[in-house]
Amino acid sequence: MNNDLSKKDLTQITISVVFILLLIIGSVWVFMPFVAALIWASIIVISTYNFMLKLQKILWNKKGLAVTVMLLIILMIVLVPIAMVVGTVAMNMTEISGWFSSLSELRFQSAPEWMSGIPLVGSQLADGWNQVSSLHNDEILKKIIPFLDDVIKWFVAKAGGFGLFMIHFLLTVIICGILYSKGDVAVKGIRNFAIRLAGNRGSEIITLAGQAVKAVTMGVVITALIQSVLGGISLAVCGVPRAGLLTAIMFILGLSQIGALPVLLPSVIWKFASGDPVWGTVLLILAIVVGVSDNFIRPILIKRGADLPILLIFAGVIGGLMAFGIVGLFIGPVILAVTYTLLKAWVNENKTQSPQNVTST
């Protein structure tokens, strides 16, 4: 009789597990179209939720009004610029390719005499410029131009059609509003779920995950925004055409952790080859300053959010971009940052417990 009961229990458990797995697979399948928008919305809301609470206090503790203002701010500052960047690049592919192709018609001359007179670095700059000018322009540019075209086309392919991007854009705004309105309930549910899985450590996991998201968002997005704006101003001041379009490209490259130099250095070459050495030199100096600025801005911003190594963030951004596309810019660093932070906390906890165990024994 006991054997019959055990067989019955085993059959019931097996059927229950299979049924639960089918429900999970079906739910994930149905929810897949909303995953990207949910991830973007979660990143934005986690990074700005404290600001929303402060705004709510200012607006007479009316949460609905605060949520509305936050959504308007997101539309103006975060999502609309990103949508404009993607749309600008997608709709100007032919012009961008033609602009890069026109570089092959330029001819580099030997370094001007005044360059060698620059204090400290003049002779090195002149020697380097003469070495570059002695090479065959067409061979160099033919290797560079296809690479730049492939990068731009790959980005557009990853970003998808502009119409599809706008659909995700609207879904992200809607989900942001829901998360802002029900943020307390969502956080409580996530904490309870994490505690159910990992015990008391579950609450710490959620806190560390939120800190990692804020750090990555500040480090990646704000640095890319500052660097692209500075680079765009430099291009406009020095008279480079299509400075707005090039600023959009620099913002994309900044998000990809490549930086603004792939746009600024060809612009410098174009100014010199066009017979404008004065503004070419000014742009070269500005390009160096803007190009290295992310090495100072990004660490400061990331350290304010969490104590994370820059190499970890860089690996997460590149790996996430290759694995998940544009949204992987944030998913990759967050996954690695949370894993690193939790592993570090676990190792340090074992170190602190070891002396107590030795003493007790």
Asked if residue 255 lies in contact with residue 329, where contact means CB atoms within 8 angstroms, the answer is yes
List all residues 6 or more positions away from 294 whose beta carbon is below 8 Å from its beta carbon. 223, 227, 254, 259
The predicted model gives 59-85 an average pLDDT of 80
pLDDT at 358: 45
The pLDDT mean for the chain works out to 75
Which residue has better confidence, 241 or 199?
241
How deeply is 11 buried, as exposed, middle or buried, from its count of CB atoms within 10 A (0-12, 13-18, 19+)? exposed
pLDDT at 79: 61
Nearest to 313 by CA among 326, 331, 327: 331
pLDDT at 361: 46
CA distances from 321 to 195, 246, 333, 350 (A): 31, 21, 10, 34
Question: Which of 3-12, 55-64, 97-106, 202-211 tops mean pLDDT?
Answer: 55-64
- Write phi, then psi, for 108 (nearest 5 degrees): -85, 130
pLDDT in tens, 223-245: 888 999 999 999 999 888 878 87
For residue 111, give the 3-state DSSP assignment. coil
List all residues 6 or more positions away from 58 whose beta carbon is below 8 Å from its beta carbon. none
Q: How many CA atoms lie less than 13 Å away from 318 in the CB half-sphere?
A: 8
Say how many residues make up the chain: 361
Torsion angle in degrees (nearest 10) through CA of 4, 10, 14, 16: 90
The pTM of this model reads 0.62
* 77-86, 183-192, 198-207: least confident range: 77-86
The predicted model gives 24-33 an average pLDDT of 87
Asked if residue 301 lies in contact with residue 288, where contact means CB atoms within 8 angstroms, the answer is no
DSSP for 287-316 reads HHHHHHHHHHHHHHHHHHH----HHHHHHH
User: Encoding tokens for residue 253?
Assistant: 């490259």
**Residue 127, pLDDT above cutoff 50:** yes
Q: Cα–Cα distance between 321 and 325 in angstroms, integer?
A: 5
User: Encoding tokens for residue 95?
Assistant: 């012009």
The predicted model gives 180-192 an average pLDDT of 84
The number of angstroms, rounded, from the C-alpha of 130 to the middle of its chain's C-alpha atoms is 38
Whole-angstrom Cα Rg for the chain: 26
* 107-111, 301-305, 339-343: least confident range: 107-111
Token look-up 């400290």 returns 120
Q: What share of the chain is helix, strand, coil (3-state, %, to 5)?
A: 90, 0, 10
pLDDT at 306: 67
Query: Interior CA angle at 354 toward 348 and 360, to 5°?
Result: 150
- Write phi, then psi, for 136 (nearest 5 degrees): -80, 120
Asked if residue 130 lies in contact with residue 110, where contact means CB atoms within 8 angstroms, the answer is yes
The number of angstroms, rounded, from the C-alpha of 59 to the middle of its chain's C-alpha atoms is 31
